[in-house]
Amino acid sequence: MPFPDIDPIAISIGPLAIRWYALAYLAGIGFAYFYGRALLKQKPLWHQSTPPMSAAQLSDFVFWAIIGVILGGRLAYVLFYSILVGGDYYLQNPLSIFAVWEGGMSFHGGLIGVALAAIFYARHVKQNALSALDLMGTIAPIGLFLGRIANFINGELFGRVTTMPWGVVFPEGGPEPRHPSQLYEGLLEGLLCFIILRVATHNAMALRKPGLVAGMFAVIYALSRILVEFVREPDAHIGLLPYGLTMGMALSIPVGLIGIALIINAGRRKKGGRAI
């Protein structure tokens, strides 16, 4: 299949250019905000009918979350995708670490950043930190879905060469068709994850067990990312790590393990055990 003729720039007015990638982020943040407000207003869904923050406080938390995503995403990229794989650019140009407009963000770092922001904010407002993580896990998938669609429009992060009939010839990927791995991730990490968590929160009342939804999100994301990494083109400047792992796999494994720990901890509440 030829790559669809979609201009990465959605709107252009004179020197002002707004890209689909930026619109995807804005749409993801907007959805997360309004869906989060709706969840917080449904008190019976939550542990002891007590949401981790009020709908009004969510507006304040958005600032904390954005800072966490930017700092975590950028610092993790510099560390894992440059310094630890032998790159010395940021060591020689430390001020470039703060040049986020030049590109280079790690989702795993952003995940850590927003998780820490949620924990600290929940402590700040004296609410359950695990429930705050549950909120983050519930509202994140659609943002992931939109972000991966934007990656596809940009023709970046494509997959390996394939003979499948849905292979796409990406402008920067050479003449051979490749897996549209961005779409795979969007469907798995985004849409499917959202549906599963929606059923868990509203049918299985999973938010009543603090940490369960966050754990489910982490496990679903980790499994989805690892699965897609088998057909995704490895980062050119990194290649494969020992044991045939990609950097995405290596960073997703601890995310999945943390998710399993959160699920086990939430299950101990049901059995009457002491949970953290």
User: Which residues contribute to the annotated binding site?
Assistant: 148
**Closest CA relative to residue 197, chosen from 268, 257, 145:** 145
**Closest CA relative to residue 8, chosen from 151, 105, 166, 180:** 151
DSSP 241: -
DSSP string, 193-221: HHHHHHHHHHTS-GGGSTTHHHHHHHHHH
- Do residues 168 and 177 lie in contact, with contact meaning Cβ atoms separated by under 8 Å? yes
